[in-house]
Structure 1
Amino acid sequence: MQRIVRLLVLILILGLGGLWSAAWFTRQPNEALGDAFLRNIAQLTGSPAPTAINGTQLPEGMTLGGPFRLVNQNGRSVTEADFSDTLMVAYFGYTFCPDICPTELGSIVAAMDLLAPEQAARVTPTLFTVDPERDTPEHLKAYVTNFHPRMVGLTGSVQQVAETARRFRVFYNRVERPEMSEYLMDHTSYIYLLGKGGAVRTLLRPQSSPEAIAEAIRQQLSQS
């Protein structure tokens, strides 16, 4: 009996090793090895493949992104269709953010500088505010121009901002404490690469390096 158990364990180990090897050779660009492994298992068992974007696992059936209607830093109403000719590098934050927002936007700008001029011309770095009460178009304009001449700031009504955040699964919450003179906004801090229709084509984790962001941009531009 023990010999049978050992044989089954050996077969299981060899089988898993084979699947890991297959995952290494069949993984797609920007796909994590673990995601490729799960996808191969799903194909063998006939189960739906798990959804993952740039190594970030998403629940089955979840989609990210889509249409939006907001107001840009020039006070003009815009939708996702206004950016259909470029790849949007989107970040959800706010101008009064003391630390993480300027750091992430700085990484995006540094990534833009790593691109060839013809590549950068096809990219629109974008700040989607989660603080529409303070981030008026005028305030956004003064803020984003300090980062990059191509950067766009998007705001809107409280309802418009909430609906856009919902489509992108962005969490945000107002934080007020007695010792604070201004409120803060807790929020998620992913970087989104958006294609036509506002669809998320790549999701980059917080604190991604400029080099990683630039490489993800290049890969998406090469597929356009």
Structure 2
Amino acid sequence: MAAGLAGGSGNGAAVLHALNYIWNAGLSVKELCNIGVKLGADVPFCIMGQAKGNPQLGRAIREDALASTCAYAEGIGEQLTPVTPLCCDVLLSKPALGISTAEVYRGIDAELGLEKPEYQGGITMLQYHVDTKELINGLNSKNYDKVVKNMANILELFSTKRYPIIMYTKNKIDQEGSAAKVLMSGSGPTVFAIYFEKSEIEKDYKLLCEMNKETYITKTLA
């Protein structure tokens, strides 16, 4: 919780899936998402991902047209279109603190409302202007150069300044030079790094464990 990894939203999604399964309600992924959005904007995405990634939920849910571990989000994040997922190994490293999502959203509004938003203490706004269509094209064609080029998290503008340990963690991984991309996850404080070569992740994992106790190796769900 409060890690920037949708812990609360994921839990809410899991409960809805569990009730649908236990009660044999037969609700589709779309119907579950319509219920889930009332709990939080991130819940529908978690419902879609769990539908695809959890074989215990049954074949009907896994083969639902909206079951997907990757999606293009519109609206407040609840309007979701399945997209080809990224297949890679992931390093997660969470500094020893929790961050309120509400605090970050208030903070980012203030950051973007400054007189000169194009320059924020060394971080240029151009870093956060990504081409979403190009990103999706990269995912569909497995052109990972396009994917990496168009990955960004604008919430870093606030969180990395308010909590310097996040930027320190990012820089530590970047300095090793093995990761294809390093970003803060969600509103923070967890930092994630993606790798297309499994052998390269182990060294970074050992290094980050010395700094952040909650450091893990995992992988994306296809």
* Greater share of residues in helix: 2
* Greater share of residues in strand: 1
Q: Which has the larger radius of gyration?
A: 1
TM-score, scaled to structure 2: 0.29
